[in-house]
Structure 1
């Protein structure tokens, strides 16, 4: 029978917790059976040895009737290196028989051991420090029935678990040794789906609305989060597709009567000749058609900017654009200067990136008095582009609003342009689609300075 797979995050945490607790519980329950400091049954080999000692003692003192002499000989001094077993005697009531006035550690151990024996007919053994006491064994000496206890120096290494519980630091290290692999596995199990979710969120932030089936794997909590994330991506895709269809339909419906209007105006001019009224109608019709085109450009850019992303050197994107802008400025008796382009690469939609910087630069040429300056520099994998002119500039309270669609600046900078107020909005959308920022400020040349920051690829 196969055990059910634990798919819940909390289930895995509880499983690891209870597994660790089970190990500790098993260790604690096994201690009484492993701890030689508890009274326990004598192993068979050790029991045979102490029986042999008992028999030898009875043979040694078989002809001795004086119990005091027997005790004196049993308690004779020995060297510390002498590891032979010692024999201790008690009466049937458990009183230790000795000739010593001041009992040493061994006699104290014997007295303590005697009090722990429940049934004299079942010999036990117990460790006191490094001294093992075993007994009782019924013995007949000096015409008396007595009990004999055997004491021997214990040099064996205590059990591993006992050493752990005797030394808290070692116990802590052992618990860490057992639990660390489990915790590392748990951390890995948590980080994998979390990392996938993070990568999916970054793709969405960059405009890539793609459903990822890998998000719906792992623990139940992450599967639910991944499924919800994919549902959100699908909903966004449907919303954007609906918006795109709506704008396409609006564009078609607007351009059809606009085309008929321009054709009717052209027929009127042919029949009646040129007039200021006919010229005004044609101009407004052209502006309306341009506005519709820019609206569609803005919409398509917001939807499709992630479809054509490439890794390009900065120079291949903007070097020719800046040189062409410099040439056009000279034709208008203006001067455009630009710094060297950093030797770095950027990931993005080349067409949008080129269009955004070209739009800002041409605006500066158009509105500048006679000077335009473009500076490009990199700091901490962030590219900064500053385009400054010495024109009339923009009022400080309108610097943030100039990037809104259809916003018209109150000064002559925009009134005489004839634009629809969508150029900078399109530029701002292109920069935002590449996780960048754009802001306007007062230029040191006296006009407007537009600053763009874009993340670039690390070296």
Structure 2
């Protein structure tokens, strides 16, 4: 299908170029008619008045004795005509009166020499008009009139006379066109950028608005939406595969645990059977957490809403404080306020709760939780005074199935997926989580989340 010319980005640039060229051509065509320094016709009222002046002068010199040149010189020396000055030339353009060098008159005579079509032209501040026929019996001459131009030059003439002002005017005229062109280019580009940022945060949803604008951006938007749909299909296929695998694995695990229980009932307790049951239980927990991580990566952009820090984590911190007291440990946290947070409430609660409960589990007896706003972000810091994590492993603890070689190892019952789930939840909410050494001697987990301002 053939698209309109101006739906293309190149078409819009082409349109701006030709529109600018059109304005320049119109200006050049109009300037000669508007510029008083160019040769113009004389308005009818002024022509009538100047013809009357020429007729009066003709009547006067006809009544005067002597030669024509002497009479015309006499008139130019003694007469003033409404503040104007008159000049006389022969029909061939030779100056009769007044004598002297007058460049404006000599130039004007060469371009205006017909009494049937008198003209006028501005020379500096001196306006020349003419010619008008003067007759003395059988002799004839031409009359030109010069008067001082008291009006200010038109604005565009002042602009044209000053290059700097002309440059400013050109910029002023072209700026709206360039701004429109920049807006036409940047608007779909911003849409594409925002869509890419949404995808980076795990929101794999097509945006029909991307397929608007110029043809180039329509094609880019359509390709982007196809990519998002392909990613959705790929992730959906991965999710279905994991679900099928978990279902197939859980069935033999259930049968294995039932067989272990029957064996323990018949043969009694034994280390071997207890070990088999423990490993089967751990494997089932690992499969469950792996599925939770997969579902979180796929569906974290769903069920988003605006909440606040107090409603999200206050009850969780109260429960964690009670749990710490049962373990003979102390958990403290600062008062929470209604700092606005946008996201999936369940994931946000689960992510912070996982970090806090890890601190309770691995800390010796002191756990400190601090939640404070910093500029446009919410900073959540969880410290404990446990053994901590070696510095060279701080970045690895967020990897799935990774366990450190200290107290946080397989013997503690962990699967190595808890912090991976937490990191995924925080990342899906455009936040960050960083592990470092705590001032208390153990581990510090620092979480940042954007405030909904």
TM-score of the alignment, normalized to the shorter chain, above 0.5: yes
C-alpha distance in structure 1 between counterparts of 2:83 and 2:333, whole Å: 99
- Secondary structure in 2 aligned to 1:406? coil
CA 1:223–1:73: 2 relative to 1, 3 Å: same
Q: Which moved more, 1:367-376 or 1:294-303?
A: 367-376
Instruction: Give yes or no for contact 1:74–1:86 (8 Å, CA) kept in 2.
Output: no
Q: Which moved more, 1:290-299 or 1:448-457?
A: 448-457
**Cα deviation 1:31-52 (Å, max 9, x = unaligned):** 2233332334444444443333
**Cα deviation 1:291-329 (Å, max 9, x = unaligned):** 111110110111111112222221222122222222222
- Secondary structure in 2 aligned to 1:403? coil
Instruction: Give yes or no for contact 2:362–2:407 (8 Å, CA) kept in 1.
Output: no
Q: Indicate whether 1:335 and 2:318 are aligned.
A: no
C-alpha distance in structure 2 between counterparts of 1:390 and 1:313, whole Å: 29
C-alpha distance in structure 2 between counterparts of 1:264 and 1:422, whole Å: 28
Task: Name the counterpart of 1:34.
Answer: 34
CA 1:308–1:58: 2 relative to 1, 3 Å: same
Task: Name the counterpart of 1:88.
Answer: 87
Q: Indicate whether 1:414 and 2:413 are aligned.
A: no
Task: Name the counterpart of 1:315.
Answer: 310
1:154-169 counterparts in 2 under 5 A? 154-155=149-150, 158=153, 161-168=156-163
Task: Name the counterpart of 1:209.
Answer: 204
Q: Indicate whether 1:223 and 2:233 are aligned.
A: no
Instruction: Give yes or no for contact 1:65–1:142 (8 Å, CA) kept in 2.
Output: no
1:19-418 counterparts in 2 under 5 A? 19-63=19-63, 64-77=65-78, 83-98=82-97, 100=99, 102-103=100-101, 107-117=102-112, 123-141=118-136, 144-155=139-150, 158=153, 161-168=156-163, 171-172=166-167, 174-175=169-170, 178-418=173-413
Gaps of 5+ in 1: none
C-alpha distance in structure 2 between counterparts of 1:99 and 1:152, whole Å: 15
C-alpha distance in structure 1 between counterparts of 2:245 and 2:362, whole Å: 33
C-alpha distance in structure 2 between counterparts of 1:148 and 1:85, whole Å: 12
Gaps of 5+ in 2: none
**Cα deviation 1:175-196 (Å, max 9, x = unaligned):** 4554444444444434543443
**Cα deviation 1:31-83 (Å, max 9, x = unaligned):** 2233332334444444443333222222111132233531332222567xx63
Instruction: Give yes or no for contact 1:342–1:378 (8 Å, CA) kept in 2.
Output: no
1:4-19 counterparts in 2 under 5 A? 4=4, 6-19=6-19
C-alpha distance in structure 2 between counterparts of 1:47 and 1:414, whole Å: 109
Number of residue equivalences? 450
- Secondary structure in 1 aligned to 2:88? strand
The Cα of 1:245 is off from its aligned counterpart by 0.8
Scaled by the length of structure 2, what TM-score is found?
A: 0.90
CA 1:383–1:161: 2 relative to 1, 3 Å: closer
CA 1:99–1:441: 2 relative to 1, 3 Å: closer
The Cα of 1:400 is off from its aligned counterpart by 0.7
- Secondary structure in 2 aligned to 1:451? strand
CA 1:99–1:304: 2 relative to 1, 3 Å: closer
Q: Which moved more, 1:420-429 or 1:270-279?
A: 270-279
**Cα deviation 1:148-181 (Å, max 9, x = unaligned):** 3233444556555444423556645654554444
The Cα of 1:332 is off from its aligned counterpart by 1.6
Instruction: Give yes or no for contact 1:342–1:376 (8 Å, CA) kept in 2.
Output: no
The Cα of 1:209 is off from its aligned counterpart by 1.6
Instruction: Give yes or no for contact 1:404–1:425 (8 Å, CA) kept in 2.
Output: yes
Q: Which moved more, 1:128-137 or 1:111-120?
A: 111-120
C-alpha distance in structure 1 between counterparts of 2:238 and 2:113, whole Å: 91
Instruction: Give yes or no for contact 1:83–1:152 (8 Å, CA) kept in 2.
Output: no
Scaled by the length of structure 1, what TM-score is found?
A: 0.89
C-alpha distance in structure 2 between counterparts of 1:318 and 1:50, whole Å: 96
CA 1:40–1:409: 2 relative to 1, 3 Å: same
Q: Which moved more, 1:247-256 or 1:126-135?
A: 126-135
